[in-house]
Amino acid sequence: MEGRKDFWDRNALRYDRFMRKDRAAYEALYALIRPVVKGKTVLELATGTGMIAKHIVSEAKHIEATDASAEMIAEAKRENRRTKLYFSVQDMFHLPYADQSFDVVIVSNALHVVAQPEKALAEIRRVLKDDGVLIAPTFTHGDNMLYGRARALCMKLAGFPLHSKWGCTDYLEFLEKNGWRVRKSTVLQASFPLTYAECEKGCPKDDLQRADHGTPGTLQILWGSLPKYFEFCFVET
């Protein structure tokens, strides 16, 4: 964890320049996010220099934008005069917020660079309201064949902490297996394919694992967590 923070601290001043070449993809990303956060209380994890938060804050009710890197947050705070956008240093695995605090949680291009993305998703589930939305766009390097693999290798050699090399399908399946229902997804063209995933809470991962070990031929009824109606997740085992 400490080594990863050091990498982002060292590269905070270069981060925006690095991301500018994917400006068109990010403009498309902002357009997808804005209607989802309209009038909502939002948490962004791994905000970096706050690029996404600053482009969507006009639509949101309030945004807590966080990152593990103090240098990234220092850059994000520069010239931020928006009273409904607050930046702070936080650990995405141990968030200080109460259960079900946020309408929307955004974690962009972060799940593939942490060693335990399942743990991050569990903490996101805790702070997200039952009828809330998770927005989790992620570079899916596995879909970029030889060029993508070569570039990913160069980034790794430079110290970039790349832990997961999902393709688009692999990534969406990963989210589903960890208890999220993907309600919308699309692939944006950037330096690497950028898979936009918009999710709702599904069956908790622990319930899915218990179902996997059920008696053959039985129908197990698992309670989901949508607030406005009862939801059943039927799993044949």
Q: Could you report the per-residue pLDDT of 120-171, keeping only the tens digit for each?
A: 999 999 999 999 999 999 988 665 555 555 555 555 544 545 556 788 999 9
Mean pLDDT of 83-95: 97
Say which DSSP state 203 is in: S
In the predicted structure, residue 222 carries a pLDDT above the cut 80: no
Q: 10 or 1, which is more confident?
A: 10
Q: Which two tokens stand for residue 230?
A: 């009862």
Share of the chain above pLDDT 70, in %: 68
Q: How far apart are the first and last CA of the chain?
A: 38
CA separation (Å) from 236 to 178, 181, 208, 232?
Answer: 18, 18, 11, 13
- What pLDDT was estimated at residue 224? 42
Share of the chain above pLDDT 90, in %: 54
In the predicted structure, residue 217 carries a pLDDT above the cut 60: no
d(CA 62, CA 86): 8
Angle at 52 between CA 49 and CA 57, to 5 degrees: 110
For the domain bounded by 2-202, which CATH number is listed? 3.40.50.150
pTM: 0.76
- What pLDDT was estimated at residue 161? 53
pLDDT classification of 192: cutoffs 50, 70, 90: confident
Q: Could you report the per-residue pLDDT of 97-111, keeping only the tens digit for each?
A: 999 999 999 999 889
Check: CB of residue 75 under 8 Å from CB of residue 96: no
Instruction: Cite the DSSP H helix spans in the chain.
Output: 2-20, 23-37, 51-56, 70-77, 117-127, 145-157, 168-177, 205-212
Q: Which two tokens stand for residue 67?
A: 């990152």
Q: What residue ranges do the domains of the chain occupy? A: 2-202, 203-237
- What pLDDT was estimated at residue 23? 83
Question: What burial letters (b/e) apply to 49-70, b meaning 16+ CB within 10 Å?
Answer: bbbbbbbbbebbebbbbbbbbe
In the predicted structure, residue 221 carries a pLDDT above the cut 60: no
- What pLDDT was estimated at residue 9? 54
Q: Could you report the per-residue pLDDT of 35-67, keeping only the tens digit for each?
A: 999 999 999 999 999 999 999 999 999 999 999
